[in-house]
Structure 1
Amino acid sequence: MDEIPKVSSTYELILIEKAIEKKQGELFEIDESLLKISHSRRPIGLAKALDTELKRLIKIEKIAFAIEIEVDDPKNGGKKKFDVINPELINKVNLFAEEFKS
């Protein structure tokens, strides 16, 4: 079996997918366009509910959207500050999503 190639860009991934489709088409002797499978999804309103919950968490529960962190900067020998999305906010949104789906 061939090794799975390491992909460094989206473009490379698309090229690999096209090559796989071509090989499958040759194997089954059908047009590659017939190999594509559509995954239809039933809308459950999750996107709108998540947007509403995110706004509620920020406005009512006063959870900061972003927090500032400091990391060591090996190039300059000091510390660098970065803004990252608040992990507490991410956890609460993920919990809400899981509860909403069930």
Structure 2
Amino acid sequence: MHTIPATSAPGNNVINELATYDPNPLLDSLIEKLHLKNDAALARALEVAPPVVSKIRHHHMPVGASLLVRMQETSHLTVRELRALMGDHRAKFRTGDYYLKQKNG
């Protein structure tokens, strides 16, 4: 598993170092389940540009909510199963209190 350096700025494409995040098992499982040959074919199946899959695979971009939903619709796996494939076993997903402090403070 890879650990990504943390950043305090929200919206940055770097993932918190406290999370163990590896999108490769997720991408590999989707390729296998959908009987595809490579990342380019996966990008076509998910209707995203090939660099998006490449950036996710190389930890330059997280798997966003809209892409996760698209993966769910394409693979018929649950969102929980998809998140588990990349090492996210949390029962609930929370964005943290940073955004709450912004609104209230």
When normalised by structure 2's length, the TM-score is 0.27
Max radius of gyration: which structure? 1
Which structure is richer in relative contact order (CA contacts within 8 A, separation 6 or more)?
A: 2
Choose between structure 1 and 2: higher strand proportion: 1
When normalised by structure 1's length, the TM-score is 0.28
